Structure 1
Amino acid sequence: MAFHPGDWQASLTSSALARGATSETALAGTRILPTDHHAVVSRSALSAATSLRLRLGDAAVDLIESHAVLPDGTVILAVDAMSPTGGLLVAARGRHGEVQLDVTQLVPVAVRSRVRARVRVTGTAHRFDPASLESCDADTVMSLLDLPPVALWAVEPVEVAVTSGDDEAVVSGSTYRATCPDPLATVEATHLEHLIRHHRDAVDQLTTLVNPELTTKATRVVPVAVDADGVVLRAEGPDGHLDVRLPFAHRATSSASLVEGLRALLAKAAPRRPIRSPHHTTAVTDSSATACVLPAGECGIPSV
């Protein structure tokens, strides 16, 4: 996904915004997004998804909370060998590229245009080898234990196709396996919900880091993504939206370093005075939203 420079001249009535554009506000000391972006998207989507669609020839079945991903990117499926789908897996076992897995990556908050990317994995199915557990960390082992108690199948990706808007890319199996998911992929939804529900003042303050020309006609601004490299705010208008990335000064590799990244952005925004339009809100309207009651050491996001 291409990012426009932070001083890109645009407004909420521009044709680019109507398509759902993206802008990046450059901050000193930030890193460039990784060149294997599509591989990261595919690994992250598979790691964070709670469901996927399994295709075997003309047959398709949706598997819900029935997959896990090993550190090398192998996808583990829990499918009863005695079921029709299990029978198809038995027939496809060992046949190169006979299995397809489809995953839709969604923005984990209530906004329009929630689809971020669609990922299709073409792979080869085998029976799961318990010896592979030796290369798994504790979290991966726990994810495997959480799968339904039926036969486990390993799908080794051969090729991965990623579609995001008008952007399409094919990732080779070797590139996919050599890439790790974003370290915050599995906790992103939790952090975004926490920001929206308990720290609207912080979202307001972060909005002041965005070029005012990009948000002046927005009806609301809401955080729609957070990853190791930054947080993305969406400025929504009547006819479209604009996504603006605020990069972290240092890559966040855990929840703790994410909080540090947000604190640094808030410190940078502190001298600025929030400017609100009469119709502007910062997050999803929710009358049940309350102030954060977590201890400061656990939450770490200051009120502003």
Structure 2
Amino acid sequence: MASTVGPAPTTPERIRSACARAGAALVAVEGGGPVAAPVRHLLADGSFAIALPVDCAGRADGSASGSQALLELTDYAPLPLREPVRSLVWVRGRLQRVPADDVTDTLDLIAAEHPNPALLQVETPRSAPSHGDPRYALFRLEIASVVVTDATGAEPVGVADLLAARPDPFCEVEAGLLWHLDTAHNDVVARLVSRLPPPLRRGQVRPLGLDRYGMRFRVEGKDGDHDVRLPFHKPVDDMTGLSQAIRLLMGCPFLNGLRARR
């Protein structure tokens, strides 16, 4: 069960963030089981670039019009929890191989936005022998539908809304920030948890998520798991604003840290 208080990311924003930090991605092509996809990148035209193992590329190339496929993105909680999955994103569509002449440019575009070592293992017209045999082939998934499901339920999202949204500014550093808070600043976490209504903290409370609008906590109680949001006073966009927002949330009067008297 989830309790949402105050402003929160829109559903398209949540999906864009999940896509950027997804800990696992599987692709199921019609006629076969799911395979891991180390590269999955939303392109500006509303399709996903996906790298598939070369040994299953033949199945994906099954017809001239492409093969039906399902991409599943899993967003895991940064900290160990009883239920580690925060959300699932399902993208259905038709899968087609990227033309050989476009592969290198597409890989360069992906690398400029999200560098990924697996890009070096994607087959290109001039795959370098020094990199070993290519392990992946590059495909494009033309989106037919997108659905996200989490503690609040399941909701579809249109491609236009998805493209108009942007990932949360902290989505790629969120895991490190929450680990640091949980392991090195238990006092800060305790102060933040104390701001939650008493009925919402009956159980073990751990940080669940962080975004520009606030923080989320997971309450693991005897009656099940409950998620609750603690909103910031206003949305933030950088680390300075985030630090001040957390201090304000704690009730700390020193928004910019302690200062020596003059």
Same fold (TM over 0.5): yes
Aligned position for 1:209: 195
Identify the structure with the greater strand proportion. 2
Structure-2 change in CA distance of 1:53 and 1:132 (3 Å): closer
Partners in 1 of 2:165 and 2:39 — Cα distance?
19
Contact 1:160 1:171 survives alignment (8 Å): yes
> Aligned match of 1:138 in 96, 106, 112?
112
Q: 1:162 aligns with which of 148, 158, 162?
A: 148
8 A contact 1:231–1:245 mirrored in 2: yes
- Matching residue of 1:174: 160
Q: CA offsets per residue over residues 22-69 of structure 1, 9 Å max, x none?
A: 252x5xxxxx335xx3322322222211321111113123315x1132
1:225 aligns with 2:209: yes
CA deviation map 1:180-229 (0-9, x unaligned): 222222222111111111110100111222123432xx342211111121
The alignment's TM-score, normalised by the length of structure 1, stands at 0.67
Partner of 1:45: 18
Pick closer, same or farther for the CA change 1:113–1:206 going to 2, 3 Å: same
* Alpha-carbon distance change, 210 to 220 in structure 1, aligned in 2, over 3 angstroms: same
TM-superposed CA distance for 1:93, in Å, is 6.1
2:86 matches 1:112? no
Counterparts in 2 of 1:165 and 1:213: CA distance versus 1, 3 Å: closer
Aligned-residue identity in percent:
27
Aligned length: 239
Task: Please give the residue correspondences for 1:285-296 in structure 2 after superposition, counting only pairs within 5 Å.
Answer: none
Contiguous gaps of at least 5 residues in structure 2: 124-136
Q: Report the secondary structure of 1:59's partner residue.
A: coil
SS of 2:249's partner is helix
In the superposition, the TM-score normalised over structure 2's length comes to 0.76
* Alignment-derived partner of residue 225 in structure 2: 241
**Does residue 123 in structure 1 map to residue 93 in structure 2?**
yes
Deviation at 1:256, TM superposition (A): 4.4
| Alpha-carbon distance in structure 1 between the residues aligned to 2:238 and 2:64 | 37
Preserved contact between residue 23 and residue 76 of structure 2 (Cα < 8 Å): no
CA distance in structure 1 between the aligned counterparts of 2:159 and 2:81, rounded to whole angstroms = 33
Shift of 1:301: 8.5
